[in-house]
Amino acid sequence: MPDRRPERQAAARAAVAAHGVDALLVTHLPNVRYLTGFTGTAALLLLTRDRAVLVSDFRYESQAAQEVGTSAGVEIDRHSAWDRLARVMSAAGVGSVGVEAAVLTLHDAERLAGIPRLRVVPTDGLIERLRASKTPEEVAAIQAAARLAQEALAAVLPGIRVGHSELEIAARLEEALRRRGSEWHPFQTIVASGPRSALPHARTTTRAVAQGEWLLLDFGAQVDGYCADLTRTVLVGARADARQRAVYDTVRAAQSRALAGVQAGMSGREADALARDLIAARGFGDAFGHSLGHGLGLEVHEAPRLSATAGDPLPPHAVVTIEPGIYLPGWGGVRLEDDVYLGPDGPVCLSDNRTELVELMRE
């Protein structure tokens, strides 16, 4: 597998140079991992015009050296990583530094302000924009995570019965994910039943699933640090009635239209409209209140955005979710989500897109 870190750092340096600063301080851990391979929870990465230095603490002395290799120098400080960072910047002659304004805390900004004669310049999304276009290895990792997630769901669905609690179902699904190799859960698993399925980001509770209710499952897996994000909505203990079928068919048709039509180069707004226009035409426009999707990678929510307010073009080789939904308070909701690679020859679904309506009946 090729080592992409040198080319990633070179691209980052070019972006930093455009800001007219001597260096970039990277504190967002997914960005640190993207540039160096370091997976620890404490890291300060200084990217200057000719070198990279990662500063961490005693817990990661061995791990940092092993994971970072030759992609960056490693400095371990047993007392204060920030004091060590200040010494590294002084030795490198850094007089101005860009910071990741979206993630740098006020406390850490005050630490930088305490370094004499250092000019601090906010930056926004420098590394995130690089991360939006995926290499073949990244796409393969996301696809592997999606495949793992699908296998876990297939193992759990047949055992779901009326009376099972949301938490019980979530526990079974999360166990199946881990047993199949998911490194962790990219986000809190959502299992929402009945009227609670109308909450797009419901908190999983002890509520028991009743007969004839929707069960919405939004879950993910992680492979080599890369995330998959899937949602399926099933019916428990009964056949769908006419209203349930109409809502489900609308969401499925909207997702199918967006999956087929999304392309690199179109704006996030145009992608969102592929699903939104169909849902609105069938009378459910007010019931689809969130965006169509988001980028996937080292984070489960990253660039680009597919929303009604996103005017930026979707970059080539991005991986995005396509997840339209209809949510009717007091009745329930339906969402279907798959992961899509925006390739040079058009969209490629990395998950199985098995979205036919599943009615879980006791045999």
Q: Could you tell me the mean pLDDT of each successive run of 10 residues in the chain, 363 residues long?
A: 95 93 97 98 96 96 97 95 95 96 95 93 96 98 98 97 98 98 96 98 97 98 98 97 98 98 98 98 98 98 97 98 98 98 97 97 70
What CATH topology corresponds to 5-131? Creatine Amidinohydrolase; Chain A, domain 1 (3.40.350)
User: Do β-strands 338-343 and 346-349 pair in parallel, antiparallel, or remain unpaired?
Assistant: antiparallel
- What is the model's pLDDT at position 109? 95
Residue with tokens 């960056």: 72
* Inter-residue contact 319 to 211 (CB < 8 Å): no
List, by residue range, all CATH 3.90.230.10 domains of the chain.
Answer: 136-360
Unique residue bearing structure tokens 């939904």: 325
Token code pair at residue 133: 């276009």
Asked whether 96 and 21 are in contact (CB, 8 A), the reply is yes
Kindly state which CATH superfamily the domain 136-360 is placed in: Creatinase/methionine aminopeptidase superfamily (3.90.230.10)
pLDDT reported for residue 1: 81
Q: What is the pLDDT of residue 216?
A: 98
What pLDDT is attached to residue 31?
98
pTM of the shown model: 0.96
d(CA 336, CA 352): 12
Which residues lie across from 191 on neighbouring strands? 217
> In sequence order, what are the beta bridge partners of 25?
46, 99
> Which residues does residue 251 pair with via DSSP β-bridges, in sequence order?
none
pLDDT computed for residue 333 by the predictor: 98
